[in-house]
């Protein structure tokens, strides 16, 4: 069916589906690599339910329709003089799709996107419309902020926002050993630090984004080192295609990635945080305890050499402040994130599985929206409240209206409830 436009439309789609024993999958923009957003029967798109509903300047909060893309949200907030305090590295996603999978950016003093939620409105499987907020202080508020789409349809969300701000981006390569030795210092010295280790080389591309009062008029051309030289660059796509045809060339091709050059620019925060991704890839990302990063990444590097994998895509490393949202990948601990990628059309599974095995030794938590091979048995060990989430889900969605194969794999089902 086509996109719906009102809360009542959502209620009637959900009721109709439930009454006829059908499953409903609410989709954002389908930017998850995992099967989390895969519809099996009825597809519910909220892409017509978009835009900012209201902004409260005193409390610095914005009520946002669920289908709003992050890109549109940024522009609209900017027009009102506000911004999101932190973002991931693309803005194609719908805001609620991103929140529901625990999407995050980088910065050890910043939680994932869901930590900005101040309230949300949920349509349940029985068609009830519930308002949830910190003052409602119930289980639905605690669990609903990162809910994988399993508890119902969120139709709007209230977010903390901040006055708009500029960031200064500084990007340059450094020897990866130095970056790893300085991981904690670099992370704490900068508002937003991340790096990309280039497999088969001893180089990492580092990115430091810091708030600045420097005027935007000083801003440099949009092309940054990373965008131009790596992710958006057609040369990088070409390099990946050569690597796909002849994997043994990859280690030599990787050395073509530059080990020198520095880019600086100042721009609106949201233009610095996010960039375009023109090269298609598969991705898996794990969160591990923040302090475990140097050892865990060292093991990934050694494993790539030992197993002889040829990897044309850099490994991305970020950090996020711990939070108290039960299914957030940073729940209960400050976290480091290691993301591995493979060029579309190349074999990714053996490499991803080998990385996953290492991450499991650190109680790693896979990103809900990215590829991984874990199920409820493993996830129960790394999410102390997964069983409670499952109980709430069984209560909220007794007929399995909002489930799909992925959710059944990662959350399991109580016996008697249809798979």
Ligand X SMILES: Cc1cc2nc3c(=O)[nH]c(=O)nc-3n(C[C@H](O)[C@H](O)[C@H](O)COP(=O)(O)OP(=O)(O)OC[C@H]3O[C@@H](n4cnc5c(N)ncnc54)[C@H](O)[C@@H]3O)c2cc1C
Question: Which residues form the interface with ligand X (CB under 6 A)?
Answer: 25-32, 36-37, 46, 66, 88-90, 93-94, 96-98, 100-101, 103-104, 148-149, 153-154, 277, 367, 369
| Least distance from ligand X to the Cβ atom of residue 363, Å | 19
Q: End-to-end alpha-carbon separation of the chain, Å?
A: 24
CA distance 327 to 115: 12
CB nearer to ligand X: give 11 or 148. 148
Q: Is 260 exposed, middle or buried (0-12, 13-18, 19+ CB in 10 A)?
A: exposed
| Least distance from ligand X to the Cβ atom of residue 330, Å | 10
Q: Please state whether 234 falls in left (phi above 0), alpha (psi between -120 and 50) or beta.
A: alpha
CB nearer to ligand X: give 32 or 312. 32
Q: Are 14 and 125 contacting, i.e. CB atoms less than 8 angstroms apart?
A: yes
| Least distance from ligand X to the Cβ atom of residue 32, Å | 3
* Cα-based distances in Å from 239 to 174, 301, 309, 313: 22, 21, 16, 10
| Least distance from ligand X to the Cβ atom of residue 102, Å | 7
Residues in the chain: 419
Q: Are 283 and 370 contacting, i.e. CB atoms less than 8 angstroms apart?
A: yes
CB nearer to ligand X: give 212 or 287. 287
* Cα-based distances in Å from 106 to 52, 119, 226, 335, 367: 25, 23, 16, 10, 14
CB nearer to ligand X: give 95 or 254. 95
CB nearer to ligand X: give 101 or 125. 101
CA distance 39 to 25: 5
Distance, C-alpha 280 to centroid of its chain: 16
CB nearer to ligand X: give 200 or 231. 231
| Least distance from ligand X to the Cβ atom of residue 312, Å | 16
- Could you tell me whether strands 42-45 and 24-27 are parallel, antiparallel, or unpaired per DSSP bridges? parallel
Q: Is 325 exposed, middle or buried (0-12, 13-18, 19+ CB in 10 A)?
A: buried
Cα Rg of the chain (Å, integer): 21
| Least distance from ligand X to the Cβ atom of residue 218, Å | 27
| Least distance from ligand X to the Cβ atom of residue 85, Å | 15
- What is the CA angle 279-264-252, rounded to 5? 45
Task: Retrieve residue 218's tokens.
Answer: 């000083």
CB nearer to ligand X: give 251 or 410. 410
Hey, how many other C-beta atoms are within 10 angstroms of the C-beta on 111? 22
| Least distance from ligand X to the Cβ atom of residue 339, Å | 8
CB nearer to ligand X: give 66 or 257. 66
- What is the CA angle 223-92-144, rounded to 5? 135
Find, among 147, 156, 97, 165, the residue nearest to 123 by Cα: 156
| Least distance from ligand X to the Cβ atom of residue 358, Å | 20
CB nearer to ligand X: give 60 or 90. 90
CB nearer to ligand X: give 28 or 111. 28
| Three-state SS at 296 | helix
| Least distance from ligand X to the Cβ atom of residue 313, Å | 12
């Amino acid at each position: 069916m086509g996109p719906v436009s009102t809360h009542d439309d959502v209620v009637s789609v959900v009721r109709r589906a439930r009454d006829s024993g059908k499953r409903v999958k609410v989709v954002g923009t389908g930017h998850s690599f995992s099967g989390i957003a895969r519809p099996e029967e009825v597809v519910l798109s909220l892409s017509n339910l978009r835009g900012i509903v209201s902004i409260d300047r005193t409390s610095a909060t914005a009520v946002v329709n669920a289908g709003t893309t992050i890109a549109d949200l940024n522009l609209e907030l900017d027009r009102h003089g506000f911004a999101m305090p932190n973002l991931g590295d693309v803005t194609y996603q719908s805001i609620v799709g991103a929140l529901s999978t625990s999407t995050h950016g980088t910065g050890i003093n910043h939680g994932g996107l869901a930590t900005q939620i101040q309230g949300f409105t949920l349509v349940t499987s029985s068609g009830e419309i519930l308002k949830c907020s910190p003052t409602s202080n119930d289980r639905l508020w605690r669990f609903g902020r990162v809910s994988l789409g399993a508890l119902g349809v969120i139709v709007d969300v209230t977010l903390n926002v901040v006055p708009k701000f500029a960031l200064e981006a500084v990007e340059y390569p450094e020897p990866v050993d130095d970056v790893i030795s300085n991981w904690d210092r670099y992370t704490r010295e900068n508002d937003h630090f991340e790096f990309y280790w280039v497999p088969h080389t001893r180089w990492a591309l580092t990115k430091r984004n810091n708030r600045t009062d420097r005027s935007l008029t000083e801003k440099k051309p949009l092309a940054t080192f990373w965008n131009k030289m790596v992710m958006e660059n057609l040369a990088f796509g070409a390099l990946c295609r050569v690597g796909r045809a002849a994997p043994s060339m990859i280690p030599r091709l990787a050395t073509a990635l530059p080990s020198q050059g520095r880019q600086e620019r100042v721009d609106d925060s949201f233009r610095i945080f996010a960039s375009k991704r023109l090269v298609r890839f598969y991705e898996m990302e794990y969160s591990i305890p923040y302090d475990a990063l140097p050892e865990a990444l060292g093991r990934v590097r050694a494993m790539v050499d030992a197993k002889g994998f040829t990897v044309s895509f850099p490994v991305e490393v970020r950090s996020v402040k711990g939070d108290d949202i039960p299914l957030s990948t940073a729940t209960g601990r400050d976290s480091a994130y290691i993301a591995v990628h493979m060029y579309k059309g190349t074999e990714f599974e053996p490499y991803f599985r080998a990385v996953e095995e290492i991450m499991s030794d650190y109680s790693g938590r896979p990103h809900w929206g990215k590829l991984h091979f874990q199920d409820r048995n493993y996830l129960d060990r790394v999410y102390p409240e997964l069983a409670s989430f499952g109980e709430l889900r069984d209560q909220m969605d007794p007929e399995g209206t909002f489930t799909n194969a992925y959710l059944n794999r990662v959350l399991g089902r109580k016996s008697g409830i249809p798979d």
